[in-house]
Structure 1
Amino acid sequence: MKKEIAIIGSGFSSLAAACYLAKEGNHVTIYEKNAAIGGRARQLKTQGFTFDMGPTWYWMPDVFERFFADFSKKPSDYYELIKLNPAYRVYFGDNDSISIEDTLEKIKIAFEKEEKGASKKLQKFINQAQDNYNIAIKDLVYRPGVSILELVTPATAKKIGQFFSTIQKEVRKEFNNPRLIAILEFPVLFLGAKPSNTPAFYSFMNYADFGLGTFHPKNGMFSVIKGMQLLAESLGVTIKTYQNVTEIKVTDKKASAIVVNDQTIKVDVVVSGADYHHTETLLPSNFRQYSEAYWDKKTFAPSSLLFYVGFSKKVEQVDHHTLFFDVDFKKHSEEIYDTPKWPTEPLFYASFPSKTDDTVAPEGKEAGIFLIPLAPGLTDTQEIREDYFNKIMERFEKRTNQDIKKYVIFKESFCINDFISDYNSYKGNAYGLANTLLQTAFLRPKLKSKKVQNLFFTGQLTVPGPGVPPALISGKLTAALVQKENNA
């Protein structure tokens, strides 16, 4: 039987779930509280500049292809992809950087220059990572996290040791050069945890990096959101903005209505792509599955301090994606996860999409996005933000040997307070729950409420985890559970 389905939020997972549910003939409406769709993947446009406010890395193109193929479409039906070369550059000191190019063979040459014999070790490491990728992305992550048995397959049985070892151990077993170690441990930051706490099986992220490469959708990541919006609307999905959901009504232990802008709307099913913790606060307390103590004990992925900056001239000595690993990674990670505080000397990331895409900045100018990973829940003030902007600008200028701060014509920041106000994000986290061993698969918050029938969740705080490709998969998994319950 076809249902009236309300979806809260319009990020990647919500749009994906909406597409799958509409394809089955349901009447689907998305309710987005902000002025624009996309959730964390919104876009900022000002003074001729265009900035992706959230995700800027397009990895795992096969996951996007698989999503669109489910609707007999291709990504190229909606947006143009550009493969980046170099994929990114990593700075370790003044005028001291390594570029990661667009093929494994080129990357092996760069590794060999840094450490004799490293090219052979890298090939061995990536072969293992590719094997993990094939197991994880083609199979495991498309399971709904209902039971531990989902992880028990002939393929994973052979990999059991990798679930109890860590990325850090496996990388350092093979490599001695601290620069190469930093590059190999970097991709797990997308999973929101320290390399010392991330199961070695997640080396599949290294295959996503070196094996598949890094892409840029023309006009930015928001092009993917717009493509999904077009697909959803072609399937009959209604998308409404400025729609603040303040309550989920429960009748006879079933989700029966939502309250939107003080109006009660009857529904058959509620799917929330909004923050999981926040969504449960919309329920009567006796219908919440997870206590405040539960959330407080969880290991969250970092929050971020972001700056969106327009420069009046081109910035030199950088690539589209540029990482600054010129300070102590261990100390910064401890200040995120172990003793949460504003970092003493932060690692940071800079993106210059106008290096690749002339649509995102006026001619002769540069669009720059700067990100500092932070512990969630910190005190966030404009004064602190300004202090950190000055810190990273000073280091940026020193490392790349150029003056850029005086060429800033536009700057806007986004941090913990904004994640809370714009996305109802728990403690202002940016990426969701970290993928540690005890927060993997069936150990994450459930896609289906255990206490309220017809209430489902999707997105970064549930299965399979943080990141854009997992968000697409999460939407598919949730939609399948909804249909299974509908057809029962």
Structure 2
Amino acid sequence: MKKKITIIGSGFSSLAAACYLAKSGHEVTVFEKNETIGGRARQLIKDGFTFDIGPTWYWMPDVFERFFADFNKKPSDYYQLDKLNPAYSVYYGKDDFITIEDTLEKICVAFENEEPGSAKILKKFIHKAQDNYNVAIKDLVYNPGVSPFELVTPETIKKVGQFFSTIKKDVRKEFKNPRLAKILEFPVLFLGAKPSDTPSFYSFMNYADFGLGTFHPKKGMYQVVLAMQELAVSLGVNIITNAAISKILVENNQATGVVVNSETHKSDVVLSGADYHHTETLLPAASKQYSERYWSNKTFAPSSLLFYVGFNTKIKNVNHHTLFFDVDFDAHAATIYDKAAWPENPLFYASFPSITDSHAAPEGKEAGIFLIPLAPGLNDTPELRERYFTKIMDRFEELTSQSVRQNVLFKESFCVNDFVQDYNSYKGNAYGMANTLLQTAFLRPKLKSSKVNNLYFTGQLTVPGPGVPPSLISGKLVSELIDKYHTV
């Protein structure tokens, strides 16, 4: 029997789940509180400039291919994908940077130039990372996190020690050059935790980086959202925007629908891709699985202070993706994970999509996105935002040997308060819950409610974790659970 399914939110995980559930024959309606779909992956369009508000890195192309293949489609049916070369560059000081190109062989040359003998070590390290990737991405992460035995396979038994060591230990053991070590520790930041708290097994992110490479969808990451929307609509999904959910209806411990814009919408199944903590506030108190204490004791991925800047000139000495590691990483990380505070000297990341993509800015101009990772829950004021824009612009100009502030046409900012307001994000986190050892797989919040029948969750606070590819996988996993219990 066909089920009527309500999905809260229209981020990657929600759209993925909607596609799978519609394909299975269910009647699916997606409600999005904002004016446009995409969740955190929305766009800012201003004065001829186009910015991705959220994710700007397209990694793990095989996960996207696997998603579209499930519907006999390919990413190229919807958008053009370009492999970036260089993938990114990393600044350590004034005019002092390392460039990461588009193949492992080229990256080995860069490592060897920095530290003789490191290329051989890097090849061995990435080979091990590739083995982990094959185990993790092709098998392990496609489990729903309902049992610890999902982690027990002949392959993972061989790797058990990697769950009790850390990325930082492994990297620093092999690479004595701190500059190279920072590059190898960087990818796990996408998982939301410090390298010193991330299990060694997650080195598969290094293979995603050096082995598979960094891509850019022409016209930006939002093209992936539009592709998923087109696919969903073709499958019969109804998507409604400006539709805020104020309550999840529960009768006899069973979800029966939602209240949206003060109107009742009945359904057989409710699936939330919205913030997990926020979703539980929409339930009666007795129906919540997790207490406030539970959430406050979890390690959350960072929030961010973001600036979207329109420049009236082209920016020099940068690449599409550029990292600024000229300050103490550990000191900045301590302000995120150990004692929440605004960092005195923040690391930051800058993206200039218009270097690659003419759609991002008018001719002769540049679109710049600047990101500072922050602890969630920080006090967020216009004065603090302005102070930190000045901080990073001072350093940016010094490190890249150019003056750009007089070329700023406009800047828009996005920070903790905006993550809360726009996404109901717990403490304004940007990336969800970190993938630490005690927050991996079955130890994460569950896809299926243990208190309310017919209520499910998807997205970065549940299985498998933060990031765009894991969100696609999360949508697939929850749809399979729903199909298991609610077959057509």
Q: With structure 1 as the length reference, what TM-score do the two structures score? A: 1.00
SS of the aligned residue for 1:359 comes to helix
Which residue of the partner structure matches residue 418 of structure 2? 418
Which residue of the partner structure matches residue 96 of structure 1? 96
Residue pairs, 1:318-357, within 5 angstroms: 318-357=318-357
SS of the aligned residue for 1:162 comes to helix
User: Partner letter of residue 274 of structure 2?
Assistant: A
Distance 2:291 2:164 in 1: 28
Q: Deviations over 1:236-286 (max 9, x none)?
A: 000000000000010111100200000011110000000000000000000
Corresponding position: 1:447 with 2:447: yes
Residue pairs, 1:112-261, within 5 angstroms: 112-261=112-261
> 1:464 Cα deviation (Å)?
0.2
Residue pairs, 1:279-298, within 5 angstroms: 279-298=279-298
Which residue of the partner structure matches residue 409 of structure 1? 409
Structure 1: gaps spanning 5 or more residues = none
Distance 2:109 2:334 in 1: 32
User: Partner letter of residue 424 of structure 1?
Assistant: N
In percent, how many aligned pairs have the same letter? 73
User: Partner letter of residue 453 of structure 1?
Assistant: N
Corresponding position: 1:272 with 2:272: yes
Which residue of the partner structure matches residue 74 of structure 1? 74
Distance 2:15 2:257 in 1: 20
User: Partner letter of residue 250 of structure 1?
Assistant: V
Distance 2:462 2:79 in 1: 28
Distance 2:277 2:271 in 1: 14
User: Partner letter of residue 310 of structure 1?
Assistant: G
> 1:395 Cα deviation (Å)?
0.1
Distance 1:404 1:474 in 2: 41
> 1:2 Cα deviation (Å)?
0.8
Distance 2:334 2:171 in 1: 19
Q: Deviations over 1:6-57 (max 9, x none)?
A: 0000000000000000001100000000000000000000000000000000
Which residue of the partner structure matches residue 46 of structure 1? 46
Residue pairs, 1:370-385, within 5 angstroms: 370-385=370-385
User: Partner letter of residue 335 of structure 2?
Assistant: E
Distance 1:60 1:238 in 2: 29
Q: Deviations over 1:130-188 (max 9, x none)?
A: 00000000000000000000000000000000000000000011000010000000000
> 1:466 Cα deviation (Å)?
0.2
SS of the aligned residue for 2:16 comes to helix
Q: Deviations over 1:318-363 (max 9, x none)?
A: 0000000000000000110001100010000000000000011000
Q: Deviations over 1:439-481 (max 9, x none)?
A: 0000000000000000000000000000000000000000000
Distance 1:159 1:2 in 2: 43
Distance 1:441 1:204 in 2: 16
Distance 2:424 2:104 in 1: 40
Moved over 2 A (4+): none
Distance 1:274 1:487 in 2: 24
| Aligned-residue RMSD, C-alpha | 0.6
Distance 1:117 1:135 in 2: 29
SS of the aligned residue for 2:76 comes to helix
User: Partner letter of residue 144 of structure 1?
Assistant: P
> 1:405 Cα deviation (Å)?
0.8
Distance 1:90 1:184 in 2: 11
Distance 2:193 2:406 in 1: 36
SS of the aligned residue for 2:360 comes to coil
Which residue of the partner structure matches residue 299 of structure 2? 299
User: Partner letter of residue 332 of structure 1?
Assistant: H
Distance 1:360 1:388 in 2: 25
Q: Deviations over 1:385-426 (max 9, x none)?
A: 000000000000000000011100010000000000000000
SS of the aligned residue for 2:90 comes to strand
Distance 1:280 1:483 in 2: 23
Corresponding position: 1:14 with 2:14: yes
Q: With structure 2 as the length reference, what TM-score do the two structures score? A: 1.00
Distance 1:257 1:389 in 2: 44
Q: Tell me how many residue pairs correspond in the alignment.
A: 488
Q: Deviations over 1:47-103 (max 9, x none)?
A: 000000000000000000000000000000000001000000000000000000000
SS of the aligned residue for 1:50 comes to strand
Distance 1:142 1:240 in 2: 29
Which residue of the partner structure matches residue 59 of structure 1? 59
User: Partner letter of residue 368 of structure 1?
Assistant: G
> 1:116 Cα deviation (Å)?
1.4
User: Partner letter of residue 418 of structure 2?
Assistant: D
Distance 1:114 1:401 in 2: 22
> 1:487 Cα deviation (Å)?
2.9
> 1:288 Cα deviation (Å)?
0.1
Which residue of the partner structure matches residue 31 of structure 1? 31
Distance 1:257 1:127 in 2: 49
Distance 1:141 1:404 in 2: 43
Distance 1:327 1:361 in 2: 30
Which residue of the partner structure matches residue 310 of structure 2? 310
